[in-house]
Amino acid sequence: MKIIQVDIANLDVPIRHAISTPRGTITAAHNVAVKLTTDSGIYGWGEASPFAAITGDSQQSNYLAARQLAEILLGQDALAIESRVGELFNATCGEPSLVSAFDMAFYDIAAKAAGMPLYQFLGGQLRELRTDMTIGLQTSVADTLAQAQEVLAAGFVAIKLKVGRDGLKDVEHVAAVRELAGADIAIRIDANQGWDLPTALASLRAMQSLNLDYVEQPLAAWNVRGLAELRQRQSIPVCADESLFSHIDALNLAHMAAADYLNIKLGKAGGIFTALKISAVAEAAGLKCMIGCFAESRLGVSAAAHLALARGNIHFIDLDTAYQFRQDPIRGGVRYAEQHGGLMQISDRPGHGAEVDESCLRTPYCIRL
């Protein structure tokens, strides 16, 4: 099944609430969409959602690199996913979001060719997926509580709070949300590398009674030894995010006993192919995973949700970004249930089920065999 056409375009969508983190503020999705068409007539869609502070790439670099990679892909077998992904990694350095987009399209094509929803093609089955909702860094506790109230009113049963403020300033924000939410709402916190080890220790010990699911990436991505020490010296589980891009990172984190959970993001891993390896390493090490996202539309979210359905050790779901979009450029794919905050309704169409409304795309580029 040869690739005979590659379409590339930019996709920009504003979001309702800016998400502020110690690594920067997201006010809109600045993504790149790719479409691969084969000689059988089957096509696949993928989406890159770069975040330079973490992945090292950008919409501009993804778009330009995509035009070069398209020439490599033309005439190649779309079903030979291992070979295609290997070629893309060999031809790029620092463009994991873009590799993820092409990978997503390969799997969309393969599942369509098999006549299966992607989760079934990957060996999974339907189960309930319910995402949390993220609240970015707010300047005051009152502002944090106002957003938490919106999340609770929408019916979400899990909240993720961005932290990483100086000193112990995060403690009062998290404590206030716990008091507002009550005991039955899950609360997770994400520092995005915003703390050093002494601040992390002091903050987490002060939050020990707040029944938190985990703290995500409390220390700098390179400081795996520090993550291991933090796990030993306090009781809140540690989740690795920016420290984890590949299955090799997963093996190192497991060997160092540096994390309780591993956060898989397709945009970090370079797509589903490597994400499956990460999940396998985690399972072998007795670790659970979460599935996360950057600023993907329901296209990228759909691919991630199908992966979560395919692997039982993907336990935590953090796929809320498209919920925040001011407009929806996607047809089909995963949807958020209106009456149950965070509940994800999975398409049973072959592939990941999502397509881009092409009228929403900007600067389209096409190359044909």
- Tell me which of 35, 112, 160, 162 is the catalytic residue: 162
What pLDDT score was predicted for residue 237?
98
pTM: 0.96
| Sign of the alpha-carbon torsion through 122, 244, 158, 22 | negative
- Tell me which of 170, 213, 216, 318 is the catalytic residue: 216
DSSP 346: P
Shortest CA distance to 112 belongs to which of 17, 207, 185, 44? 44
190 in active site: yes
103 in active site: no
265 in active site: yes
Report the Cα 190 to chain-centroid distance in Å. Answer: 14
What pLDDT score was predicted for residue 64?
97
What pLDDT score was predicted for residue 49?
97
Residue segments in the chain with a per-residue pLDDT below the cut of 70: none
d(CA 55, CA 36): 23
Shortest CA distance to 46 belongs to which of 6, 14, 15? 6
In DSSP terms, 131 is beta-bridged to: none
Cβ atoms of residues 120 and 105 within 8 Å:
no
- Tell me which of 35, 265, 268, 288 is the catalytic residue: 265
Structure tokens given for 54: 């973490």
Report the Cα 97 to chain-centroid distance in Å. Answer: 10
- Tell me which of 47, 213, 241, 296 is the catalytic residue: 241
For the chain, the C-alpha Rg in angstroms (whole number) is 20
Between β-strands 3-21 and 362-368, what pairing exists: parallel, antiparallel or unpaired? Answer: antiparallel
- Tell me which of 47, 132, 190, 320 is the catalytic residue: 190
Burial class (CB in 10 A: 0-12, 13-18, 19+), 154: middle
d(CA 3, CA 106): 10
d(CA 331, CA 169): 42
What pLDDT score was predicted for residue 93?
87
Rounded to the nearest 10 degrees, the angle between the axes of helix 298-310 and helix 272-284 is 30
35 in active site: no
Structure tokens given for 338: 């209106």
Report the Cα 54 to chain-centroid distance in Å. Answer: 12
169 in active site: no
